[in-house]
Structure formats: C-alpha cells, structure tokens
Amino acid sequence: MKKTKTKSKPTTVAKSPEGEGLGASPVRKSSVNLNDTVRFKITPTGWQYIGKVNATDPIYSRYPMRFKVDERGFSEAQLWSVMQFFGPAISLGGMPPIETEIYFPNDPSSATRETI
C-alpha cells in the first residue's frame, strides 16, 4: 500500500466587523507597573467609604487616608494603593467608589495631564 502525503489546509479565523476583540474596542497590549501613578475620580460612594474606613479602621482612624483633588476633580496615587484601599469596596453590581476610567499619566497611549 502506498502512503500519500496530505497537505493540511491553513485554518482561518473569522473576524468580527468591529475588529479583533470584544465589541468595537481595539485590543491594545500595555505594560503596567503597580508602582505607577494613576489619576482617577472618586465617586460620592467612594467619599462615603473613605469616611467610614477612616472612622472605623484601627490604623486609618489614627492616620486617616486623604486624597487631594485637583480643579478637575482628579486624585492621584500609586496603582497598588488605590487597589488596596478601594478593593474591598468594589463588588459586582455595587456602586463603584471610583469612576471606572483610570488614567496613567506616564503612559503615552493614555490620556495626558493636559487632556484630563
């Protein structure tokens, strides 16, 4: 019996009309360091959470967490700090303590200080 070689056909991936990824958003690869400074806006729910934590937490009641707010309503902190402090207040279906867009001032592909 004679063996024949069969060539495999290249597989194709169907692309959605919106492009790659989910929805119309383009997929973007970016590198983030947890020590990077981020800019974000605190929501009214976030301000309530800050007051509650500062009043009840054993450490924050002695050394309260304070966020400076600029003229446009943005606060600035290291990413790990924002995640550590506001993480317990974030839940599925809950009111977010910070707005869902976070800006990375040192990232050229993110909004710059002048635009936000």
pLDDT in tens, the chain (116 residues): 555 555 555 554 445 455 555 555 666 677 889 999 999 999 999 999 999 999 999 999 999 999 999 999 999 999 999 999 999 999 999 999 999 999 988 766 655 445 55
Least Cα distance to 109 among 18, 35, 29 occurs for 29
**Cβ proximity of 36 and 80 under 8 Å:** no
Extract long-range pairs of 62-70: CB within 8 Å, 24+ residues apart: 67/42, 69/42
